[in-house]
Amino acid sequence: MLRQSASLLMIYLKGQWGKVTVLIVLLVGSISLELIAPQWLGRFVDDATAGAALSTLQLSAVVFVLLTVVRQVFVAVAGYVGEDVSWAATNRLRIDLTRHCLELDMSFQHEYPPGVLVERIDGDVSTLSEFFSTFVFNVIGRVLLSAGIIVLTFVVDWRVGALLLCFAVMVTVVLRRLQGISIPHLRALRQTKSDLSGFLEEQLVSTEDVRANGARPYVMWRLSRHLDELVRRTRSSRVASRVFSSALEVSVAIAGAAVLGFGAVLLQRGTMTIGGIYLAFYYTALLAQSLTSLTFQIDQLQSAFAGMQRISALYYRVGAVPDTGTERVADGPFDVVFDRVRFGYNRERDVLRDVSFRLPAGESLGLLGRTGSGKTSIARLLCRFYDVSGGAARLGGIDVRELALGPLRSRIGVITQDVELFHASIRDNLTLFSDEIADEAIVDAFRRLGLHEWYTNLADGLDTVISGDGRSMSAGEAQLLAFVRVFLHDPDLLILDEASSRIDAGTERLIEKAIDRLLAGRTAIVIAHRLSTVAKVDHILILQDGAVQETGARETLLNTTDSRFAAMLAEARA
Ligand SMILES: Nc1ncnc2c1ncn2[C@@H]1O[C@H](COP(=O)(O)OP(=O)(O)OP(=O)(O)O)[C@@H](O)[C@H]1O
């Protein structure tokens, strides 16, 4: 996992090495200045106690201030370059992650609810971006500074250097333990936050159903459970960090006192000057400050590591539907064959069992069956949102698994029961934000589908904005828009999952007329909830519990008195 995360980092730092080098030069420069500047303070103290001339003292003071100013300039420029590197790298990562998630199969979409994906693509990547921009200075910089301080104190007096080295080793051991203890708490905290946002997303999307079914108390109960968990996780992760940083503070105080005491002894022996003691104490304080800042950064470092691991798990996740096919279906309408297809969403249960049928090119098939009998699953297999567990689905004589995914899906138009509409104009909803489709083509599509009159009643024509997430449209109107959307896309295979909700007679007539025109010249599968919808299809397939109960030409079944289809029609008429 660590290797995966590291290789992911390398991918996104590629092309940024020039800036990273500038960052390293600025970092080394600023650390050197931070180490050198106090030397002038030590010299100032020694010169002052030796009664040196005022100009000598002034020179030391001016050099100290100058070095400090230059260092701050380095820090500011490095901050700018660090942000630049971090945003360039992480924005590319955001884009690639989003594309990857959109391409992954449906079982992935069920496993990661929208809230969790938002947390990965935005939350975790933001943490990573902060990590990039502050990590170099606050962690690597502090580590280098600490090492430099120990080397320099060794130069001043090896015994003081040894003292600081012991102190640094002790603190590093504490830091390592802190890392081991805090990471699981931080990981759990992040997971809890992501569960909470997933839960909120889920509830907000289904507000209407929640209210209508009186499920509000249950939602509030689950929310309070999530919040309790959040409090528990936050508390434990904060406590784990605080206990160790307090231990660090205490050790810092002890080290400062030891350096001063030891320096006093050396002063009495005449082996150390007051300036030297001052410098050693200054470096001890700087080392303490640097190690303390490291401790605080550990939190961020750890959450960046945890986030990085989650991001790389998502980034390297291989879809259950591999896009390895290279074949393409010949132009024009094609036939659809199901050859003893077996399929289940999980290993426990097959929802399609030995389903076989052949739909000739340019003809239509009405799929009937009780709810849950497997009709939608057939459509999903054709679009390869899932792969069959046994048998084969073939389009134009080619197994769908041998077809390249992009071209395959571009040949299929799907109209689902829940049409997805965006908070955007009718135009954008129909063209899916593409500006390659002219307004005339859209209006022509309305006309050819027999929907021109309905279109002219739209308040602002194509500029009419659909509010919310499409809730300003009824199920029937949403389907009409979906028809136009698909018509513009001009697919060779049309899959229509008819809206099961009640639609008024006027809209139903519009829908029927539009379906007639939409079906012309295409192979079509109509998943029908009303028998009237299949009145004009060429073939019928009735499913029962995932198996074919009856299939044949509609006319033939209609005229066969003991057919299931004829019985269904009779039941509907009664
Ligand atoms: N994503 C999924 N994960 C697990 N099981 C699923 C999933 N989608 C559907 N199922 C199950 O598969 C079976 C067939 O579902 P499918 O949606 O194909 O039926 P359907 O005939 O289209 O139903 P409806 O007429 O209600 O749309 C059902 O038992 C359903 O519970």
The per-residue pLDDT for range 217-243, each reduced to its tens digit, is 888 999 999 999 999 999 988 887 777
Q: Which residue has the tokens 């508390």?
A: 235
Q: Are residues 358 and 401 in the same domain?
A: yes
Q: Are residues 302 and 343 in the same domain?
A: no
Structural domain count, the chain = 2
CB 115 within 8 A of CB 197: yes
- pLDDT of amino acid 398: 94
Q: Are residues 172 and 111 in the same domain?
A: yes
Q: Is the CB of 374 under 6 A from ligand 1?
A: yes
9 burial type by CB count under 10 A (0-12 exposed, 13-18 middle, 19+ buried): middle
Q: Residue 503: is its pLDDT beyond 70?
A: no
What CATH number does residue 92 fall under? 1.20.1560.10
Closest approach atom of ligand 1 to CA 380: 18
What CATH number does residue 531 fall under? 3.40.50.300
What residues make up the domain containing 543? 336-573
> For the complex shown, is ipTM > 0.95?
yes
Which residue lies with its CA nearest to atom 10 of ligand 1? 345
User: CA–CA distance from 370 to each of 380, 384, 546 (Å)?
Assistant: 17, 23, 10
469 against 243, higher pLDDT: 243
Q: Are residues 43 and 131 in the same domain?
A: yes
Give the pLDDT band of residue 259 (cuts 50, 70, 90). Answer: confident
Q: Is the CB of 372 under 6 A from ligand 1?
A: yes
Q: Are residues 14 and 101 in the same domain?
A: yes
Which residue lies with its CA nearest to atom 17 of ligand 1? 376
Q: Which residue has the tokens 């320096």?
A: 263
Q: Is the CB of 416 under 6 A from ligand 1?
A: no
Instruction: Tell how far the Cα of 417 is from the centroid of ligand 1, in angstroms.
Output: 13
Give the separation between CA 29 and CA 179, rounded to whole angstroms.
Answer: 29
- pLDDT of amino acid 533: 78
Mean pLDDT of the chain: 85
Which residue lies with its CA nearest to atom 3 of ligand 1? 345
Q: Are residues 239 and 344 in the same domain?
A: no
- Running DSSP on this structure, what letter comes out for residue 524? E
Give the separation between CA 106 and CA 521, rounded to whole angstroms.
Answer: 30
Closest approach atom of ligand 1 to CA 106: 1
Best residue among 105, 349, 351 to mutate for probing ligand 1's pocket (most ligand atoms within 8 Å of CB) is: 351
What DSSP line would sit under 418-466, residue for residue? S----SSBHHHHHHTT-TTS-HHHHHHHHHHTT-HHHHHTSTTGGGPBP
Closest approach atom of ligand 1 to CA 369: 21
Give the separation between CA 188 and CA 236, rounded to whole angstroms.
Answer: 10
Q: Are residues 281 and 174 in the same domain?
A: yes
Q: Residue 403: is its pLDDT beyond 60?
A: yes
Asked whether residue 323 is domain-assigned, the answer is: no
Q: What is the pTM of this model?
A: 0.68
Q: What is the pLDDT of residues 355-386, one digit of tens each?
A: 999 999 999 999 999 888 999 999 999 999 89
Of the candidates 280, 315, 350, which is a domain's last residue? 315
What DSSP line would sit under 244-268, residue for residue? HHHHHHHHHHHHHHHHHHHHHHHHH
Cβ neighbour number for residue 207 with a 10 Å cutoff: 12
Give the separation between CA 485 and CA 74, rounded to whole angstroms.
Answer: 56
Q: Are residues 229 and 367 in the same domain?
A: no
| CA proximity to 142, closest of 303, 297, 308 | 297
